[in-house]
Chain A
Amino acid sequence: MKTILKNGRILDPSQNMDIIGSVVIEDDCIVEVGAIVDGTGAEEIYDCTGMWITPGLVDPHAHLREPGEDHKESIITGTKAAAAGGFTTICCMPNTSPRLDRPQLIDFILDRAASAEAGGIFVAPVGALTRDGYPNQISDLAALKKAGIVAASDEGDPIQDSRLMTQAMEFCRQLDIPIMAHCEDRSLTMGGVMNDGPTSSLLGLKGMPRSAEEIMVMRNCLLALHTGCSVHILRVSTWGAIEMIRQAKYLGAPVTCEVCPQYLIFTDEDVAEFDPRFKTTPPFRTQIDIDILNQALADGTVDCLASDHSPHAAYEVLVPFEEAPFGMPGLETMLGATLTHLTHKGIISPLDTVRKLSTAPAQILRLDAGSLKPGETPVAQVTVIDPDCEWTFDARHAATKAKLSPFDGMKFKGKAMLTFCGGEVYYDGHFGADRYETFD
C-alpha cells in the first residue's frame, strides 16, 4: 500500500524543513519527503494543497484516568480524543487509582491503547515516582522502565520533601529516566482554589499564591543542576517560574518545561462568577504572566506545549466552586487554541509551532515521534492541518467523556484534518472527498 500526501506545506522541525511538497507512506512507514517525490504505484492520494503536513502531534501530558477512574475518561475515549486533536503520541500521567507504580499497570495501559477499539495512536506511559499509598517510597523504577515508561512523575501528588526528591533524581539519573515535576508547595496552596489576587479577595475564595509554584520550580531546578537528572517542569503558569527556569538553563541545569494553551488564554478574572470549569492547579494567573509566557515560548525558554488534558465527569464539576475538582479537558482544543492564539498572532512561526507541538516533546521524552524523516520513526506518524479552517468548539460533541470545558463555544482558526498513525487514518476532520483519490 502506497499513500501520497501531496502538495502540502511540509513543516518538519527535525529537519528544519518548511517547503511545499509531498510525503510518501509505504507499508506503515514514511519512505520519501520532498518537493518532488516518486508517485508511481500510489494507491491513495490526498491533495493537501493549502494545508500543513507535519509530524504527528505529541502531547507530553495527558490524563487518561485508567485504571480506576473510567467514569472520567478511559484509554479508549482518551485516545480517540487525542486522534481528533491531531495527536499520534500522548503521554499518560500516573496519578490514576491505583497510581502507575508497577509493571503490570504499564502492561495494562499499553494493551488497552493497542486494542482495536482504541484511537489508534501511541500511548507513552509515565510512571509514578512514588508508590501508591506510600508517599515516602520511590517506585521500582528499573522495572517500570523495562515495562515501557518514558518518564516518572509526581503529578497530582507533588513531592514536598527535598531529600526524597533528591534521591528520586539520583535513581532517575542512573536509569536515564526524565522526571516530570509537578511544582507546588502544598503548605502554601492548602485550601486554595484559585490564583491569590484581587479576584480571589473579591469572591472570598482562598488563593494559591504564585510563590507556591515558584518555590518548587526553583527547588527542582536546583536539584536537577546538582544531581544531573533531566527534569521537565509541568505546566508553568507564572512569570517568576519562567525567570527561575531561564536562570537554571543558563547555569546548565538539564531542565525543560511546558506551558498549556489554556494558561495563555484565561486569567484569574475568568473564574468570576465561580465557574468551576476554570478551576485548575496551578491556577490561571494574570495578563502579565500570559505576556511573559508568550515571550518565553518565542525565545525558547519554554520548550514545548502540553494539553494537561484532565477530564472529569460533569456531575463532579457541577458543584460549588470550592468543592469542584481541578482540571479540564484539553486534547481536542489544544491545536486550535495554539494556532489561534499563538501562531496566527505571530508569537511563534508555523515551524516553531510544530516544534512545540511535536518535535520538542518527542525529543525531551525520547519518543519515537516528532519527525517526518524516513527511517526516523518506526512507523509513520503524520498530521495534516488546515491552518485556516474556522470552527467553533462544541464540548457536547467532543470525543472525550468530559463534556464541560472552558473552551466551549470558542471560535478557533486551525484544525487537524487527518491523523495518520502507521499509515492508517484515525481521524478525519472533514478533509473532503474531492481531495481524495484512490486507485485499486
Chain B
Amino acid sequence: MSRALNAIRHLALPEIEHLLDRAQFHREAIRSGTATKSKQSKLIGLLFFEGSTRTRVGFEVAAHSLGHSCINFSQHGSAMGKGETFRDTILTLKNERLDGLVIRHSACGSADLAQEFFGGPVVNAGDGKHEHPTQALGDALTISERKRTVTGLTVAIVGDVAHSRVARSNTWLLSQLGNEVRFVGPRTLMPSHPALLPGTVYNDLESGLKGADVVMCLRLQKERMEEGLLTSLNEFRKMYQVNGETLQFAKKDAIVMHPGPMNRGIEIDDPTADGSRSVIEQQVENCIFARMAALEWVFEEGGK
C-alpha cells in the first residue's frame, strides 16, 4: 500500500513531529529564498468534489513550490457530474498515470476509499465531517510560531465541533502533542458521544475559555439553524461569539484562530478577527508549508 495522509488520528507522535519539522523547514527555506525543488517532478491530481478556494490554491502553491505540476478536476464539467461512480472516476485517474491525488469530498472516509482504488499516494483535503489533516498541521505550525511552543497549552475550540473536520483533526494533533483540548459550544453542536475524542466538552463560553492559550473559532454553517440546532443566530452570538469582551475570559496573551471562511459578526466579531491577537492570516500561509510536508510525505521524500 502506498502512503497516504488521510487522518491525523492514524498518525503516531513521531510522524506528526516529522511532518511539523518538514513544514517548518519549508517555511524557513521559502522565507529565506533558499528553497530547492524536488528532484523528481510529479503530476498531482487535485480532485475537488466539493467547492474550496483556500485549500485548493494552498495545495497548488505547495505543489508548485516543490516543483510538481497539478491538474484540477471538479464535479462540474467532468464525468463525475454524469453519473460516473466514485470508483470509476478514481480508476480513470489512476490510468491517466497521475502520480498522486489530493481529494476533497463531502463524504467521511472518501479519502481512504480513493486510496484503495487509486493505489498510489493520496492526501486528504477534507472528507466530510471527518478530518482535514493539512489544516491541523498548518494550525499547529501557526501556534508554535506565535506561542514558541505547541505543547502544554490549553486550546479551546469554539462552535460547531460536531460537524467540523477541522476540529477533529486539530483535536487529534494537539492532544498528541500534549495540549489540553476543549470543545466549547451548545449541546446540539457538540459530538453526541465524545468518549473516543481526546477533548472535554464545555457548554459555557466563560468556563471553556478560562485559562486558554489558544481560542480556535469554527465556521457556523447557516443550515444548522434550519436544522433547529440553534435557537437563533442572535442567541448564538450572545452566548458563544468570540469578541473583545469574551476573549477576556482567556489568558491575556491568548491567540485567536479561524480556519475560514469566516462569518464575521457571528462566531467572531470584526475587531477580533483583524486584531493583534488574531493569527488567521498566518494560518493560511502556514497551511501551504503543511501541504508541502504532506505531499513530500506521501511521495516518501524529505526523509523517513
Contacts and interface: CB of A to CB of B under 8 A. Distances in A.
A205 B130 CA distance: 7
Interface in A248-287: 273-274
Interface stretch (A112-120, A145-153, A196-204): A196-204
Given A273-B112, A320-B109, A321-B108, A201 B130 contact: no
Given A274-B108, A319-B85, A320-B110, A205 B129 contact: yes
A69 interface: no
Nearest to B114: A320
A207 interface: yes
A200 B197 CA distance: 11
B167 to A, nearest CB: 9
B197 A202 contact: yes
Contacts of A134: none
B197 A204 contact: no
Contacts of B194: 198, 201
Contacts of A315: 85, 87
Contacts of B108: 203-205, 274, 320-322
Contact of A204 (B87, B113, B130): B130
Nearest to B129: A204
B161 to A, nearest CB: 10
Nearest to B9: A202
A88 to B, nearest CB: 38
A207 B196 contact: no
Q: Determine which residue in B108, B110, B130, B194 has the highest number of CB atoms from chain A within 10 A of its CB, and name it.
A: B108
Contacts of B106: 322
Interface string B78-107: 000000011100000000000000000111
Contacts of A322: 106-108, 128
A1 interface: no
A291 interface: no
A240 to B, nearest CB: 16
A274 B109 contact: yes
A323 B192 contact: no
B87 A273 contact: no
A175 interface: no
Interface in B43-102: 85-87
Nearest to A268: B193
A201 B195 CA distance: 8
Q: Determine which residue in A201, A273, A321, A323 has the highest number of CB atoms from chain B within 10 A of its CB, and name it.
A: A201
Q: Determine which residue in B106, B107, B112 has the highest number of CB atoms from chain A within 10 A of its CB, and name it.
A: B107
Contact of A274 (B9, B112, B191, B196): B112
B191 A319 contact: no
Q: How large is the interface on A (under 10, 10 to 19, 20 to 34, 35 or more residues)?
A: 20 to 34
Contacts of A389: none
Interface in B141-165: 162-163, 165
Q: How large is the interface on B (under 10, 10 to 19, 20 to 34, 35 or more residues)?
A: 20 to 34
A318 interface: yes
A207 B190 CA distance: 13
A201 B112 contact: no
Interface in B131-185: 131, 162-163, 165, 168
A205 B106 CA distance: 11
Interface string A295-315: 000000000000000000001
Contact of B130 (A203, A318, A319): A203
Given A319-B87, A320-B113, A197 B105 contact: no
Given A203-B109, A204-B129, A320-B109, A198 B193 contact: yes
Nearest to A318: B87
A200 to B, nearest CB: 7
B168 A199 contact: no
A350 B197 CA distance: 43
B193 A197 contact: yes
A198 B109 CA distance: 16
Interface in A179-213: 196-205, 207, 209
A319 B128 CA distance: 14
Nearest to A272: B109
A207 B105 contact: no
Contacts of B113: 274, 318-320
Nearest to A323: B107
Nearest to A274: B109
A198 B198 CA distance: 12
Contacts of B85: 315, 318-319
B193 A321 contact: no
A323 B109 CA distance: 11
Nearest to A191: B227
Contacts of B129: 204-205
B107 A320 contact: yes
Contact of B196 (A196, A201, A318): A201
Contacts of B105: 320
B193 A204 contact: no
B109 A273 contact: yes
Nearest to A316: B85
A422 B196 CA distance: 55
Nearest to B130: A204
Q: Determine which residue in B165, B191, B195, B196 has the highest number of CB atoms from chain A within 10 A of its CB, and name it.
A: B196
Given A274-B113, A321-B108, A323-B107, A202 B196 contact: yes
27 contacts: A196-B192, A196-B193, A198-B195, A198-B196, A199-B196, A201-B162, A201-B191, A201-B192, A202-B196, A203-B108, A203-B109, A203-B130, A204-B108, A204-B129, A204-B131, A204-B163, A204-B165, A204-B168, A205-B130, A273-B109, A274-B113, A315-B85, A318-B85, A318-B113, A319-B85, A319-B87, A323-B107
The 5 closest A-B pairs by CB, nearest first: A274-B109, A320-B107, A204-B129, A201-B191, A204-B130
